[in-house]
Structure 1
Amino acid sequence: MRKNIVAGNWKMNKDYGQALTLINEIKEGKPASNAEIVLATPFPFLAKAVELVEGTDIQIAAQNMHQAEGGAFTGEISASMLTSIGVHTVILGHSERRAYFHETDALLANKVDTALKHDMTVIFCFGEELKDRQSNNHFNVVEYQLRDGLFHLKNEDWKHIVLAYEPVWAIGTDETASPEQAQEMHAFIRNLIQKVYGTDVAENVSILYGGSVKPDNAKEIFSKPDVDGGLIGGAALNATDFFGIISGI
């Protein structure tokens, strides 16, 4: 059975003290839920975050990593660096990495391969821009991103993959895909995977929705049969809001 997951992507927010406070608030106040909770903190806080959540069911994730094993890549972080401090989950392909840092599907495929080589779980992000949806090209964009980024994998690799559909037009804009739009796309994604990898892989991969999820809309979005949780941005920076979203699953 696929997992329900609520992942908080902190992006480039919080200083060290604020980060520790928020992690402790989430650890101590997290409501009972059947969802797996993931916190993707900035790089400087990862080791301490792993220490703080030890013994809990909270997972710590990195927001990115380099595709190389090591070398002269100033400012970059490798998979082995992450796993050496107890981080075994990484977000790859976030729309901001694609847009601001020009990450291509080919590059992301390499990153995925490196992460899997180190037995990491990958939260793989993808989604269309507003112009794609307005031109009714959104299904094609999503299909190409998945095919080019992930469809070189073997069936057994998919147990380490979590998908995160994030319509770019709904990230940080207060615009949200309707629950029906989210379900339509998630069903399309699952059907696409089924055609390529079979029913077992398709039914067991978790597909998260990311795009201005808030406590007041989370329950309706998460109630859809092919939506298995959320990749949360701004609302993950406040424990009360994050708890409200977790309670919606």
Structure 2
Amino acid sequence: MYDDAQKLTTSELLEKNLNDKYWSEVFLTLNASVNHYIDDKNYLKSLAEQITDTTETKLKGTSRLIIWDRISNGDIIFEGKGLVIENDLFTVAGRANQLLQNLTNKNFGFVTINSTKNELKTLKNKWIDFLNEKTVEEYKPEQFKNSKIPEISSLSAVKALIVSLQANSLKDEITKKCLKKVYNLDKMPDDKNSSAIYCDPDSYTYAYLAMLFGDEKVNESKDAKWWLSFWNENKDNLVWNPENGIYEVKK
């Protein structure tokens, strides 16, 4: 697959971006584009035209892919770690924007699950202006000063982490497969110091949430139900404390 992707023309890559169905296919489109067409203005302009294409594909094979909104809505299972992508790769527009960002090292905004048609049109025009050598102000992502892990510090990430804690049979299956493959175990050991606990994505998630809210260690009384209730009650009042690098509930 890799070698075949490297031989694709720009026209074929544009068509491929419209039809990719697996995360591995999306990655190969990105890889081949960066390797061969980074300076091809016609290719870049054609990608910009795809920014307003909202066609959605339920990507398959998304293990270790992290798109927070897609974790929140159940399209991706959070496995505790992976590659964070801000663009919604489930849409043609999101994939096109990711390609343009990778090819130009410029950012004029992200395509998210909530992007409106007008927002996409504006983003498309920014890319076209930039590619026509006009001055375009770059997008400045929100900063989370003193965050230990900035990639997990947005509110969309917090929501996704909390949603990922809730019961899910697919998550259970991931845990079981890891236990069997790595440790030859049929169930989670009772020893909480065993490294096997990290087969369960929730082990990472609880640690991340403790970090984001200033707990020195994981508080076992804060289970999945507690976190969901906390989110529902406080999501509109959470503010980032830049001095401490944590979220606090606004009084």
- Greater strand share, structure number: 1
Q: TM-score, normalised by structure 1?
A: 0.26
Per chain length, whose mean CA-contact separation is higher, i.e. which structure has more relative contact order (CA < 8 Å, sep 6+)? 1
State the structure with more CA Rg: 2
- Greater helix share, structure number: 2
